[in-house]
């Protein structure tokens, strides 16, 4: 009996914490459908009394949110594809090949994860502007094309690829690239999905670098558009609710669909580390 | 895998003894290895190593890319930095912010992971999904949600708590408000890692403790906490590196204000570099941050080897 009560208390408590955790999302979503009077009202209710899409129409008029959404999507998908591929390749070479200098070089890869962005930001900024890459997507893609974290995560997952299978394939005369694409990649699908979601989120939320590099407003990404919009129309709270909803919802959907693999991927980075 | 079946025993017999540094089948590896090693090396040199050297050099110069100034000034930037009250305020803020956010992440992460672990199997996935949700949403966007939540007029925080506080414009509350937002955003990562740690615990140890009549608290204090030390170290070190670099939440919520009450070191660096165009001064501050990060990371790993490690391993 005592255990039953304890269990009920525990589960109710957890439910309350989960509710508090997602409350900001619910509040944002509901507020994005309220009209200006209701948003500014002192007497607040969670559900809108009058549902309206005016806020969503207003952000599209003020800044081309569809365009910026497309830019973010394009960059996120492209960088995720490139970074996952290079990470898998790096993870394979560092995880399965034995060669001189492997240890020190991998340690160096790990060490770069600890470098604060603030240190490399200014020199990178002068390098990329000096090379005439400002306002080009190359400036966004190049620094993200190789990921230390990705190589690290993929190397961890190489334990799932048995050496015997690789040896057998080699004896059968398979080329290294064939082995990589047909054996290593399919066996790493969990790690690939985890890294893909992480990477997608990082590009999607990256703010400062695109803000510094992209100067043409129509080329800009959604995260930067959000801050620009907020600065220019700082009293259009309804618009801000709608704009943040637009920039959060896609990520939430991707997360909810893939959450199992994502959680496993996040955990594996630490447990085996 | 039918074609490899006959080959496998042969492969096993030619396999070098365990611990050998030679690879089983070296043919064909070389080109791929060469490409990967070269690319990684070039990327590290160009995008990390050289920028660090350039930042160090830049910190010794009066450097303004707007008008092309790049003049040697020795340690003047560092002397100015250490005499700057904003630098000291930002440093103290950074330490307070980091400590608060890490404690929040560890305490909430471990407590909630323990609760989820002991909860009904049916709802476990639901809780895990919901608690991790803020962690996987874009920081810029959720920072805006919180800015609106903190709004003194219509924000949910005041409505729910029945208070009348201007959270982000009152220097007493602004830094705690930024910290609360950050803890909300990030505690889910702690939950996931501690959950993974709890699942990895040998079940018989917990059962034995239960059979011996240890209460919930004793089990936690004597068994779970010590055995989760490696996870705690991982959470603390990654959080430290992350929170020393926190920028977006300050940029969106407070712009470092009111006064300098929420200015963190990365915000100071950004301001000096890209608002005031003092690249040399900003580089000096960035380099101090770099040294502090490296020192704290090394210290944490030292601590793990020392008394931290305990009986866990």
How much of chain A, in percent, has pLDDT values that exceed 70?
Answer: 97
**What per-residue confidence (pLDDT) applies to B16?**
45
**What per-residue confidence (pLDDT) applies to A256?**
84
Q: Are residues A105 and A45 in the same domain?
A: no
Q: Are residues A108 and A191 in the same domain?
A: yes
List, for residues B15-69, the tens digit of each pLDDT value. 444 444 444 445 678 889 999 999 999 999 999 999 999 999 999 999 998 888 9
**What per-residue confidence (pLDDT) applies to B306?**
56
Cβ pair A263:B128 closer than 8 A: yes
Q: Are residues A113 and A208 in the same domain?
A: yes
CA-nearest residue to A251 within chain B is B137
Q: Are residues A79 and A56 in the same domain?
A: no
Cβ pair B32:A89 closer than 8 A: yes
Task: Map chain B to HEC letters.
Answer: CHHHCCHHHHHHHHCCCCCCCCCCCCCCHHHHHHHHHHHHHHHHHHHHHHHHHHHHHHCCEEEECCCCEEEECCCHHHHHHHCCHHHHHHHHHHHHHHHHHHHHHHHHHHHHHHHHHHCCHHHHHHHHHHHHCHHHCCHHHHHHHHHHHCCCCCCHHHHHHCCCCCHHHCCCCHHHHHHHHHHHHHHHHHHHHHHHHHHHCCHHHHHHHHHCCCCHHHHHHHHHHHHCHHHHHHHHHHHHHHHCCCCHHHHHHCCCCCCCCCCCHHHHHHHHHHHCCCHHHHHHHHHHHHHHHHHHHHHHHHHHHHHHCCCCC
* DSSP SS3 for A47: coil
Specify the number of domains making up chain A: 2
State yes or no: pLDDT of B309 exceeds 60.
no
**DSSP code, position A113:** T
Q: Which of B52, B136, B140 sits opposite A119 (nearest CB)?
A: B52
Residue length, chain B?
313
Q: For A177-199, what is the mean pLDDT?
A: 90
Q: For B286-307, what is the mean pLDDT?
A: 85
CA-nearest residue to A245 within chain B is B141
State yes or no: pLDDT of B311 exceeds 50.
no
**What per-residue confidence (pLDDT) applies to B191?**
93
Burial of A145 (0-12, 13-18, 19+ CB in 10 A): middle
Q: Are residues A210 and A79 in the same domain?
A: yes
Q: For B72-95, what is the mean pLDDT?
A: 96
State yes or no: pLDDT of B113 exceeds 60.
yes
Q: Give pairs for B272-278: CB < 8 Å, separation 24+.
A: B273/A121, B273/A122, B273/A125, B274/A212, B277/B64, B277/B65, B277/B66, B278/B63, B278/B64
Cβ pair B27:A170 closer than 8 A: yes
Cβ pair B136:A262 closer than 8 A: yes
Say how far residue B303 (Cα) sits from the centre of its chain. 18
Lowest mean pLDDT among B43-52, B85-94, B151-160, B271-280: B151-160
CA-nearest residue to B183 within chain A is A21
Q: Domain containing A127 — which CATH number?
A: 1.10.3720.10
* DSSP SS3 for A199: helix
Cβ pair A28:B145 closer than 8 A: yes
Give the residue from B118, B285, B95, B15 showing the smallest Cα distance to A121: B285
Does residue A223 lie within any of the structural domains? no
List, for residues A5-30, the tens digit of each pLDDT value. 888 888 888 999 999 999 999 999 99
Q: For A178-202, what is the mean pLDDT?
A: 90
Q: Are residues A37 and A141 in the same domain?
A: no
Residues of chain B with Cβ-Cβ distance to A28 below 8 Å are 145, 148
Tokens of B229: 């030390």
**What per-residue confidence (pLDDT) applies to B212?**
81
**What per-residue confidence (pLDDT) applies to B38?**
95
Q: For A57-69, what is the mean pLDDT?
A: 90
Cβ pair A14:B127 closer than 8 A: yes
ipTM of predicted assembly, 2 dp: 0.91
A32: how many CB neighbours lie within 10 A of its CB? Answer: 24
Does residue A14 lie within any of the structural domains? no
Cβ pair B11:A164 closer than 8 A: yes
**What per-residue confidence (pLDDT) applies to B19?**
44
Q: Are residues A246 and A165 in the same domain?
A: no
How many contacts does A have with B, using Cβ atoms within 8 A? Answer: 283
Q: Are residues A80 and A166 in the same domain?
A: yes
Cβ pair A244:B137 closer than 8 A: no
Q: Smallest CA–CA separation between B67 and chain A, in Å?
A: 13
Residue with tokens 């447990």: A271
List, for residues A96-122, the tens digit of each pLDDT value. 999 999 999 999 999 999 899 999 999
Residues of chain A with Cβ-Cβ distance to B241 below 8 Å are 113-114, 116
**What per-residue confidence (pLDDT) applies to A269?**
63
**What per-residue confidence (pLDDT) applies to A198?**
87
Q: For chain B, what are the domain ranges?
A: 32-76, 78-305
Give the residue from A22, A10, A81, A87 showing the smallest Cα distance to A252: A22
Please list the alpha-helical segments (H only) found in A33-184: 36-40, 54-62, 65-96, 102-112, 117-130, 138-144, 148-157, 163-171, 176-179
B37: how many CB neighbours lie within 10 A of its CB? Answer: 18
The answer to whether B81 and B160 are in contact (CB under 8 A) is no
**What per-residue confidence (pLDDT) applies to B7?**
37
Cβ pair B134:A21 closer than 8 A: yes
In sign, the C-alpha dihedral spanning A174, A176, A178, A184 is positive
State yes or no: pLDDT of B88 exceeds 50.
yes
Q: Are residues A100 and A35 in the same domain?
A: no
Residues of chain B with Cβ-Cβ distance to A151 below 8 Å are 40
* DSSP SS3 for A35: coil
State yes or no: pLDDT of B179 exceeds 90.
yes
Q: Are residues A33 and A153 in the same domain?
A: no
Does residue A70 lie within any of the structural domains? no
CA-nearest residue to A29 within chain B is B145
Question: In this structure, which topology does domain B78-305 adopt according to CATH?
Answer: MetI-like fold (1.10.3720)
CA geometry: angle at B174 spanning B168 and B175, to 5°? 150
Cβ pair A255:B133 closer than 8 A: yes
CA dihedral A179, A185, A188, A193 (to 10 degrees): 170
Q: What is the pTM of this model?
A: 0.89
Half-sphere exposure of A141 (CA within 13 A, CB side): 18
Q: How far apart are CA B300 and CA B244, in angstroms?
A: 14
φ, ψ for residue B70, nearest 5 deg: -150, 85
How much of chain B, in percent, has pLDDT values that exceed 90?
Answer: 61
**What per-residue confidence (pLDDT) applies to B1?**
34
Quickly state the pLDDT bin for B277 (edges 50, 70, 90): very high
**What per-residue confidence (pLDDT) applies to A41?**
80
Q: How far apart are CA B292 and CA B286, in angstroms?
A: 10
**What per-residue confidence (pLDDT) applies to A137?**
97
Q: For B281-297, what is the mean pLDDT?
A: 95
**What per-residue confidence (pLDDT) applies to A109?**
95
State yes or no: pLDDT of B243 exceeds 50.
yes
Q: Are residues A140 and A259 in the same domain?
A: no
Mean per-residue pLDDT of chain B: 86
**What per-residue confidence (pLDDT) applies to B27?**
60
Cβ pair A115:B48 closer than 8 A: yes
Q: Are residues A31 and A145 in the same domain?
A: no
Quickly state the pLDDT bin for A270 (edges 50, 70, 90): low
Give the residue from B289, B290, B281 showing the smallest Cα distance to B64: B281
Domain that holds residue A236: 25-63+229-268
Residues of chain B with Cβ-Cβ distance to A10 below 8 Å are 115, 118-119
How much of chain A, in percent, has pLDDT values that exceed 90?
Answer: 63
Residues of chain B with Cβ-Cβ distance to A3 below 8 Å are none
The answer to whether B101 and B241 are in contact (CB under 8 A) is no
Does residue A48 lie within any of the structural domains? yes
Does residue A116 lie within any of the structural domains? yes
CA-nearest residue to B112 within chain A is A14
Residue with tokens 């960035």: B286
State yes or no: pLDDT of B128 exceeds 70.
yes
Cβ pair B41:A105 closer than 8 A: yes
Mean per-residue pLDDT of chain A: 90
CA-nearest residue to A174 within chain B is B28
Q: Smallest CA–CA separation between A142 and chain B, in Å?
A: 9
B contact test, residue of A106, A109, A123 with most B CBs within 10 A: A123
């Amino acid at each position: 009996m005592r255990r039953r009560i304890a269990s009920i208390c525990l589960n109710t408590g957890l439910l309350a914490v989960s509710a508090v955790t997602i409350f900001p999302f619910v509040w944002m979503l509901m507020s994005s459908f309220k009209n200006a009077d209701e948003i500014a009202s002192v007497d607040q209710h969670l559900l809108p009394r009058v549902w309206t899409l005016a806020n969503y129409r207003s952000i599209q008029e003020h800044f081309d949110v569809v365009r910026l959404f497309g830019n973010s999507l394009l960059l996120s998908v492209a960088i995720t594809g490139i970074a996952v591929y290079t990470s898998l390749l790096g993870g394979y070479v560092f995880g399965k090949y034995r060669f001189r200098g492997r240890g020190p070089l991998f340690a160096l890869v790990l060490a770069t994860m600890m470098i604060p962005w603030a240190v490399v930001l200014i020199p990178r900024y002068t390098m990329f502007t000096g090379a005439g890459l400002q306002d080009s997507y190359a400036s966004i893609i190049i620094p993200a094309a190789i990921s230390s974290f990705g190589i690290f995560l993929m190397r961890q997952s190489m334990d799932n690829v048995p050496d015997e299978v690789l040896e057998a394939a080699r004896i059968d005369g398979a080329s290294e690239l064939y082995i990589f694409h047909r054996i290593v990649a399919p066996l790493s699908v969990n790690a690939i999905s985890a890294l893909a979601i992480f990477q997608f989120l990082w590009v999607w939320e990256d703010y400062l670098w695109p803000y510094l590099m992209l100067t043409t407003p129509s080329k800009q990404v959604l995260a930067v558009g959000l801050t620009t919009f907020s600065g220019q129309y700082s009293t259009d709270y309804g618009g801000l609710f709608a704009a943040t909803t637009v920039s959060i919802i896609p990520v939430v959907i991707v997360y909810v669909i893939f959450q199992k693999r994502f959680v496993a991927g996040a955990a594996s980075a630490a447990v085996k580390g | 895998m039918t074609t490899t079946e006959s080959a496998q025993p042969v492969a096993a017999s030619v396999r070098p003894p365990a611990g050998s540094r030679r690879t089983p089948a070296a043919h064909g590896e070389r080109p791929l290895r060469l490409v990967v090693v070269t690319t990684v090396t070039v990327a590290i040199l160009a995008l990390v190593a050289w920028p660090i050297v350039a930042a160090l050099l830049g910190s010794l110069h009066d450097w303004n890319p707007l008008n092309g100034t790049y003049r040697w000034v020795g340690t003047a930037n560092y002397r100015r930095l250490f005499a700057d009250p904003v630098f000291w305020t930002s440093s103290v803020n950074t330490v307070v912010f980091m400590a608060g956010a890490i404690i929040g992440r560890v305490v909430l992460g471990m407590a909630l992971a323990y609760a989820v672990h002991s909860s009904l199997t049916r709802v476990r996935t639901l809780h895990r999904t919901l608690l991790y949700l803020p962690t996987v949403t874009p920081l810029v966007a959720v920072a805006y949600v919180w800015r609106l939540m903190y709004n003194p007029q219509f924000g949910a925080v005041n409505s729910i708590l029945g208070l009348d506080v201007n959270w982000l414009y009152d220097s007493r509350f602004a830094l705690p408000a930024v910290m609360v937002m950050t803890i909300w955003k990030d505690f889910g990562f702690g939950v996931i890692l501690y959950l993974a740690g709890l699942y990895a615990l040998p079940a018989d140890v917990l059962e034995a403790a239960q059979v011996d009549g240890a209460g919930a608290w004793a089990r936690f204090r004597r068994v779970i906490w010590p055995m989760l030390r490696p996870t705690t170290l991982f959470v603390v070190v990654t959080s430290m590196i992350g929170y020393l670099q926190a920028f977006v939440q300050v940029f969106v919520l407070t712009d470092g204000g009111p006064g300098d009450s929420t200015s963190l070191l990365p915000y100071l660096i950004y301001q000096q570099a890209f608002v005031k165009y003092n690249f040399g001064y900003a580089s000096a501050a960035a380099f101090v941050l770099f040294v502090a990060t490296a020192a704290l990371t090394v210290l944490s790993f030292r601590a793990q080897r020392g008394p931290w490690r305990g009986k866990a391993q």
